[in-house]
Every structure is written in C-alpha cells, then in structure tokens.
Amino acid sequence: MPPMPKLPSVFVIRSSGSCRATYLNRKLAVEQLRLLAGRLVEQDPRVLEVRLFGSLARMEAVPGSDADILIVLSEHSTPRWFDRIPEFAAAFHDTDMPVEVFPYTRDELRRLETGGSGLARASRAGLILASRV
C-alpha cells in the first residue's frame, strides 16, 4: 500500500492582535479517523470494527481532547489488551490529534458487557468509523 500523504491539521488557529484562539475542526478530525480506520480494517483481517467514543463522538471535544478508539478484533495472540496498544496505535500516527486505542477481542468485549463495564456502554453509543461486518 502506498504511504499516506500528510494529513492537514485538525486544529484551527485564529489570531487577532494579542489574542489567539485554537479550536478543533471536528468534521475534519472524524474524516481523518475514518480514513485511517478504513486502512486498518483493509490491512488487518483480525480487525472487525473501529469505533469512536468519548468526547469527540459526543461532540464535546476541545483542542486538548483525544480521540478514544475502540478496535474490535476477531482474535489476537497477545493475551492482555493493553499490550496490544502499540501495534494498533501506529495506525493513527498520521493525524495530529492525540488518539487512545482500546484493542479488544469480540469475546473480551462480551465479558465486559456482562460485567457492566463503562467502556462497553460508552462504545455502544459511539460512532462506527470502519467495519468489516
């Protein structure tokens, strides 16, 4: 696959005299995340779905916010979800927005839902960025 061209910044800076304001272009941020999530689904057959949740999905994000990304996997040989983070975080390095990935297998998510996990609830209310199913 060809290298990804540099993506434009999702942060907009406006200056007027001594005042400077920075805001987040949410639409551009979500477009970029969809593009990167789509590439991840295309390149890794274990990835079933990529979902945005948290403040950006709820339209409450500010310039210091990060993008919370749930990555649903069919399976993975690494037993602990947090040990998988570096592998999947790399897929989102081309955006200048901070991204936090949560790579869980489908079975792990089912167990979390049974236990009433906040992550499971938050992700259900999120926005699907890319899906294989």
pTM of this prediction?
0.87
- Residues 126 and 57 sit within 8 Å (Cβ to Cβ): yes
Is pLDDT above 70 for 2? no
Residues 40-76: tens digit of each pLDDT: 999 999 999 999 999 999 999 888 899 999 999 999 9
Q: Quick check: is 6 in a domain?
A: no
Q: Quick check: is 31 in a domain?
A: no
Q: For the chain, how many structural domains are there in total?
A: 1
- For residue 105, what are the β-bridge partners? 73
Pick from 98, 68, 105: which is nearest to 84 by CA? 105
Q: Quick check: is 73 in a domain?
A: yes
> Token pair of 6, please?
């540099």
Q: How confident is the model at residue 3 (pLDDT cuts 50, 70, 90)?
A: low
Q: What residue ranges in 29-106 does DSSP mark as E strands? A: 47-53, 67-73, 99-105
Residues 73-121: tens digit of each pLDDT: 999 999 999 999 999 999 999 999 999 999 999 999 999 988 888 887 7
Is pLDDT above 80 for 123? no
**CATH code of residue 43:** 3.30.460.10
Range of the domain at 90: 38-131
Cα within 13 Å of Cα(117), Cβ side: 12
